[in-house]
Amino acid sequence: MKKIELVDVGPRDGIQSQSTIVSTSDKIELISRLADSGVKRIEVASFVNPKRVPQMADVELLIERLPKIKETKYIGLVLNEKGLERALDTDLDEINCATVTTDTFCQRNQGKTSQEMMNSLGRMTTIAKKKNRFFGVTIAAAFGCPFEGEVDPTKVLEIAKNLIGLGVDEISIADTIGVAVPTQVTDLVYRLKSVIGEVPLRLHFHNTRNTGIGNVYAAAEAGVRIFDSSCGGLGGCPFAPGATGNVGTEDVLYLFERMGYQTSISMAKLIETSKWLGEVMGQEMPAMLNKAGSFP
């Protein structure tokens, strides 16, 4: 049976742009519920300036209080060297940094051009490796940019090649603003595979234009086995206008379960978690399966 790994990014990407501030204890409950549902990797927070992203003001406190669960790995997102320093001071299992394909978006997101960010990633990879910490990198806006429009796939390939040269532990490809279509995904994944070899490839889709599940399917058919998703389908980048939710974990799980893939996640527990999160956020979750339920 083919195995699929889902990384739930809900506690970070899912809630970062929400106006309702989620308490530390509710975040801990969300993360604990996800772990109990069988999610093995959870992106729990980002080390950003709380003035820019108020939802992330409690990162260090949150990580200190997280339950230690064997087999569940916690990931923290960083955007710069200062964030990496903070993350290394915690006992997070994995650190993930982002870079952006286009200069305009990279400047808005991280205050650097794409090339300046690559130079910074060189230093960051060295530091993380010295500390024996798992260090992955996300290439954001890989299928289109809110400011510069079309993104040439060769740009993504070039960044991926440079990251392989640095020796990063994993490469993620993100459709940050949810513009990708499946044919584009198939094409990029096949081209990436020849560049990145055995390094794990993870895909991150937003369902902004309702192509999210189609894109997940296309990537899986092209051989990708690691996907980001967020419980309930919440999500969005604070620095990308009009950005909306990640593909919902329950929706992605349904797709793979019915297609005969093996996952570690309990649908019943996940739907319960999604409903609970809807109550905490005071809104209906955008994902579908929490309303429809699984196969009757």
Q: Catalytic residues, which ones?
A: 237
Quick one: 13 or 250, whose CB is closer to Zn ion? 13
How many chain residues bind Zn ion (CB under 5 A)? 1
Say if CB 272 and CB 50 are below 8 A apart.
Answer: no
Bridge partners, residue 95, by sequence: 76, 135
**Torsion angle of alpha carbons 189, 71, 206, 83, nearest 10°?**
-100
Amino acid at 5: E
At its nearest, how many Å lie between Zn ion and the CB of residue 132? 27
Site for Zn ion in 183-202 (CB under 5 A): none
* Residue 229 beta carbon to Zn ion: minimum distance, rounded to whole angstroms: 10
Tell me whether residue 88 or residue 214 sits nearer to Zn ion (CB atom).
Answer: 214
Helix (H, G, I), strand (E, B) or coil at 228: strand
Please answer whether residues 200 and 169 qualify as being in contact, where contact means their C-beta atoms are separated by less than 8 angstroms. Answer: yes
3-class DSSP assignment, residue 22: coil
Which residues, 6+ apart, have CB-to-CB distance to 212 below 8 Å?
178, 205, 206, 246, 247
Least separation, in Å, of the C-beta of 93 and Zn ion? 20
- Give, as ranges, the residues between 200 and 259 that touch Zn ion (CB under 5 A): none
175 contributes a contact to Zn ion by CB under 5 A: no
- Smaller CB distance to Zn ion: residue 88 or 245? 245
Shortest spacing between CB 197 and Zn ion, in angstroms: 25
**Contact residues for 261 (Cβ-Cβ < 8 A; gap 6+):** 1, 2, 3, 4, 220
Nearest approach, Cβ of residue 248 and Zn ion (Å): 13
Residue 14 CB neighbour total at 10 angstroms: 29
Q: Of the two residues 43 and 250, which places its CB atom closer to Zn ion in the complex?
A: 43
Query: Based on CB atoms, which residue is closest to Zn ion, 12 or 112?
Result: 12
Q: Which stretch binds Zn ion (CB under 5 A): 11-19, 20-28, 68-76, 247-255?
A: 11-19
Residue showing the smallest CB distance to Zn ion in the complex: 13
Question: Which region among 8-16, 65-73, 78-86, 123-131 touches Zn ion (by CB under 5 A)?
Answer: 8-16
With CB under 5 A as the contact rule, which of the stretches 9-17, 71-79, 208-216, 274-282 interacts with Zn ion? 9-17
Q: Is 13 in the site for Zn ion (CB under 5 A)?
A: yes
Instruction: Give start and end residues of each alpha helix (H) in 66-211.
Output: 81-88, 103-110, 114-130, 153-166, 182-196
Binding region for Zn ion (CB under 5 A): 13
